[in-house]
Amino acid sequence: MPSKQRGEELRKIIKSVRDGTFEYDSKEPVTTDWAQYDHAQIYEMIYYLDNIRDLVDEADERIKKRTPPRKRGPGRPSTDPADVAKVLLLQTYVSSSNRLAEGFLLLFQEKLGIGCHFSYKTIERGYDKGPVNKILDEIVVITNESVEGKEDTFSFDGTGFSASNKENYARFATKTEF
């Protein structure tokens, strides 16, 4: 539709709205279960902490089953990668700095099933550690298993649209000839 026609159409719609002659089908009002909403808001953090603990523990267990144990070298034993992964996931959830994440570690250590306290530098180094990344990768595998066969469309951002601009916008393009 040419822009002139669109402008005229818009003016007609505006005039009919102002005159009160515009036909509008209203939607049914949505009823909200406020008790259920309150419950979800109150328990959100508890459920998230439980999910972190359970997912990381399952991922760690799977990795340990298929990987032969490594001999420990000299020096202090390294921090359990599963514990570091739990703190990294919590840190991401609350959008905090490494130092603040150390405070959350102190606060939620028992809830997450973390055996010992470690510093913000250990949290920082967790981003570069191979064992921590293996656990996070295994968590992705576990979460994908739960929806396997249930999804018809998949996209990188959760919208269901393709990552290709051409595929998304090609249907809107009009061919202009010069």
Report the length, in residues, of the chain: 178
Stated pTM of the model: 0.69
**Residue 149: both structure tokens together:** 């066969």
Residues 95, 89: Cα–Cα separation, whole Å: 10
Instruction: Return the pLDDT at 123.
Output: 96
Contact predicate 107/96, CB 8 Å: no
- Residue pLDDT tens, the chain, 178 long: 677 888 888 898 898 889 888 888 888 888 999 999 999 999 999 999 999 999 999 999 999 999 998 888 898 888 999 999 999 999 999 999 999 999 999 999 999 999 999 999 999 999 988 999 999 999 999 998 988 887 776 666 666 666 666 655 555 555 555 5
Give the model's pLDDT for residue 51: 97
Q: What pLDDT is stored for residue 33 in this prediction?
A: 93
**Which residue type occupies 12?**
K
- Identify which of 81, 136, 89, 96 has the alpha carbon closest to the alpha carbon of residue 111: 89
What is the structure's pLDDT at 77? 86
H or E stretch including 93?
helix 81-94
